[in-house]
Chains A and B, each alone.
Chain A
Amino acid sequence: MTTVLEVSNLSTSYMTFRGVVRALEKVSLKLEKEEILGIAGESGCGKSTLAWSIMGLVPPPGKIIEGSVKIDGIDILKLPENERRKKILWEKISMVFQGAINSLNPVYTIGYQLAEPFIYHRNYTKKEALEKVRELLKMVGLNPELVKRYPHELSGGMKQRAVIAMALALEPSVVIADEPTTALDVVIQSQILNLMKKLKQEKRLSFILITHDMSVIAEMADKVAIMYAGRIVEYGSSDIIFNNPYHPYTRLLIKSIPRLRGPIEKLHYIPGEPPNLISAPPGCKFNPRCPQATERCRKEEPDLIEVEKGHFVRCWLYEGRES
């Protein structure tokens, strides 16, 4: 296996008037070729911040505090801004950001908007670029004639395909998709997920798929990282995360998913709510909601340790189980 992306110790904060929002704390992860890594967790746990940080595009007042993001061995956060934009973003790694379908520019045609990377990065003529756009649209299952259409003339599902096409324009090897189906109906969602699966195979792509929907993660991901309060609390193959999770948070999260089939068991929930990231509690960030918390959990924060090959957990219960 070849590693296409390696993130180490990435921390990002938002410097707000009310205080420093520590949205990302020392996140490390690896993405292999043709792999889908799912990132899940509750609203506000830092998923989008992670995505923006990997791209090196955190919006103000956010700031990357530390860490590295290596693509093909190059730490892209160390590159000067313009070099990163010109040589790395869209060429090697691209992103379908959360809510992207709502930020398509209403006054330009789809063709015009999708042609931009070809003109900016590849110096294509407008005509050449539009020809490329037609190919792209076909690739994501859209009618190439949509180049002449405006965003409001497309349905939600069509727009989502278009923004995926845009991310794929310059054939990057890594695509980050942040909640790509959250606003869509299930029928359209299933079509978009199928499309991503096909693209992964045909184009030998690697995806980071971010969503709060654990069922979508199960449907797609080879590996899963569970985030809580800006940290990865558990990380492993999707079989482990869904069938034999270790972390108390992951366990409760999985038990809270309503299921369509099988016996109707009582749904579980996690009392309380995630901490405010300006003043998170000391110790393990999950301790106020954790049924297994001990005195120590309230004082000291556990590290993320590897409990079996490729399976990492951040919880005192597994202390000394390092493999």
Chain B
Amino acid sequence: MKGERNEIGDIFTSNKDLLLMVEDLKVWFPLKRGIGEILRRKPQRYVKAVDSVSFFVKERETFCLAGESGCGKTTTGKSLLRLVPITSGSALFRARKETLEELKKNGVNLDGEDYVDIFAIPPRKVKPIRKDIQIIYQDPYGSLNPRYNIGDILKEPMNIHKVELTEEEKMERVHKALETVKLKPPEDFIDRFPHQLSGGQRQRIAIAKALIMNPKLIVADEPVSMLDVSIRAEMLELLQSIKEDRNLSYVFITHDLAVSRYICDRIAIMYLGRIVETGETRRIIENPLHPYTRALVAAIPEPDPSNRHKLRNVPIKGEIPSAANIPPGCRFHPRCVAFDENMERLRDKCPIHDPPYFVSEDGRYVNCWLYDNWKKKEKIMDFST
């Protein structure tokens, strides 16, 4: 295990443009057991919210996690801030120097490296990480404390992290953050309460709050889903320009593939806790390879009125199973049309063996036996593309 970790570490060290590399993340929530189950010594069952997920994010990149409700996007995002218990896995992250220093000072062993494995930090020592990685939640209504005014909401992260600044300096940062998210003049907003703002303005406050600590990575969890389409593009543009100005990276979570196409460099499509396909966003949307991605792409309505004359053909069967009851073999096989069509070849594979990732010529990773004539993914992903 130690050797393997070092191997991953070496690769991370030598690829300076990598910001984050997650390997084999599992987040399994234990299901409550009935007394009967305990007495009969039934094994503990889990909701496998995230089940062996690997991905990487480069500096100044927007990486997208997409998929249907319940597939594990938010849980994956939260794991990076250690907001959910990690079952296993590693997440090497190039934190800022000050953050690494602070971790070291608190007794976190970094082996002299310029990165930290977020998942290996003891639970009580993870706080400094939450300066470098911020999260923006989907709901601009629920995520801001209704009893605080905007000034206090924006000062809160600085207080939590005990930033050594005078009150004036903190206020100055608040003003700057408000200007960055184009709430001008800042004085007009500082004394207001969240309910005195529109949905779009609240989401701007959430973004400003995420920026206050100068993070390196922002997990943006469906940041525009609740907003009207007429102002969505404005928010996406804002996120884009902030990224360029501040050398940020995003893990951008969305269920909307059309949105992802405008903002994400690379994308991972998730199904039942697993990334089924990952690669360049445009390629995946133009030519989806995994049978689930194909269905997902085929299901998306488009603003073309000639579609009204036809029924949409979405190649998928049945309904999504529960994350507490993941099918054996390939987790998609009970719904997979490609499996039915290739029964002869796949009968002994899909229902029995969980597929590994196969790597396409254009650098895509696909979690499907259909592509078993391609190169198999080794321990670590290839991020040269």
Cβ of A19 < 8 Å from any Cβ of B? Answer: no
Query: Does residue B255 face the partner (Cβ distance < 8 Å to A)?
Result: yes
A190 and B314 within 8 A (CB): yes
- Let me know if A239 is at the binding interface, CB within 8 A: yes
Residues of B within 8 Å of A222, CB to CB, are 308
Question: Chain A CB within 10 Å — which of B229, B232, B312 has the most?
Answer: B229
B124 to chain A, nearest CB (A): 38
Name A251-283 residues within 8 Å CB distance of B. Answer: 252-254, 256-261, 264, 267-271, 273
Contacts A219-B308, A238-B305, A253-B230 given; indicate if A260 touches B299 (C-beta within 8 A): no
Interface pair B316/A187, CB less than 8 Å apart: yes
Contact B319 A238 (CB under 8 A): no
Q: Are A193 and B231 in contact (CB under 8 A)?
A: no
User: In the complex, which residues of chain B have a beta carbon less than 8 angstroms from the beta carbon of A147?
Assistant: none
Quick check: B258 and A260 within 8 Å, CB to CB? yes
Whether B301 contacts A193 by the Cβ 8 Å rule is yes
Q: With a CB–CB cut-off of 8 A, which chain A residues contact B311?
A: 194, 197-198
Q: Is the CB of B228 within 8 A of A190?
A: no
Asked if residues A261 and B230 are in contact (CB atoms below 8 Å), the reply is no
Q: Closest Cβ of chain B: how far from A102's Cβ, in Å?
A: 14
Instruction: Tell me, yes or no, whether A21 is within 8 Å of chain B by CB.
Output: no
Pick the interface stretch among A68-76, A210-218, A309-317. Answer: A210-218
A254's nearest neighbour on chain B, judged by CB, is B303
Please state if B302 and A187 are interface contacts (CB–CB under 8 Å). Answer: no
Q: How many A-B residue pairs have C-beta atoms within 8 angstroms? Tell me.
A: 130
CB-defined contacts of B255 to chain A, threshold 8 Å? 185-186
B41-49, B159-167, B172-180, B233-241 - interface stretch: B233-241
One of B232, B304, B320 near A218 (C-beta < 8 A): B304
A151 to chain B, nearest CB (A): 16
Query: Contacts A242-B305, A258-B256; is A187 near B229 (CB within 8 Å)?
Result: no
Decide: A259 and B307 in contact? CB cutoff 8 A: no
- Distance of A27 Cα from B228 Cα, bound (Å): 22
Q: Is A257 touching B303 in the complex (CB atoms < 8 A)?
A: yes
Do A187 and B301 touch (CB < 8 A)?
no
Q: Which residues in window 143-161 of A have CB below 8 A to B?
A: 155-158
Residues in B with CB closer than 8 Å to A36 are 308
Say if the beta carbon of B295 comes within 8 Å of chain A. yes
Taking the closest CB of chain B, its distance from the CB of A193, in whole angstroms, is 7
Decide: A243 and B305 in contact? CB cutoff 8 A.
Answer: yes
Please tell me if B171 contacts chain A, counting CB pairs below 8 Å: no
A281 to B234, CA, bound (A): 23
Contact call B303/A186, Cβ cutoff below 8 A: no
CB neighbours of B316 from chain A (8 A):
187
Q: Chain A residues with Cβ under 8 A from B282's Cβ?
A: 264
User: Which B residues are CB-close (under 8 A) to A264?
Assistant: 261-262, 282
- Please indicate the chain B residues that have their CB under 8 angstroms from the CB of A114 in the complex: none
A residues with CB within 8 A of B: 36, 42-43, 155-158, 185-187, 189-191, 193-194, 197-198, 212-216, 218-222, 238-239, 241-243, 252-254, 256-261, 264, 267-271, 273
State the B residues within 8 Å of A (CB).
68-69, 198-200, 228-234, 236-237, 255-259, 261-262, 282, 285-286, 295-305, 307-308, 311-312, 314, 316, 319-320
Q: What are the nearest 9 A-B pairs in CB distance? A: A267-B233, A269-B233, A269-B234, A215-B301, A238-B305, A258-B258, A185-B68, A190-B299, A219-B301
Q: What are 23 inter-chain pairs, A to B, with CB distance below 8 A?
A: A36-B308, A157-B319, A185-B68, A186-B255, A187-B299, A189-B299, A212-B229, A213-B229, A213-B301, A215-B301, A218-B302, A221-B308, A222-B308, A242-B303, A242-B305, A257-B258, A258-B232, A259-B303, A260-B257, A260-B297, A264-B282, A269-B237, A270-B230
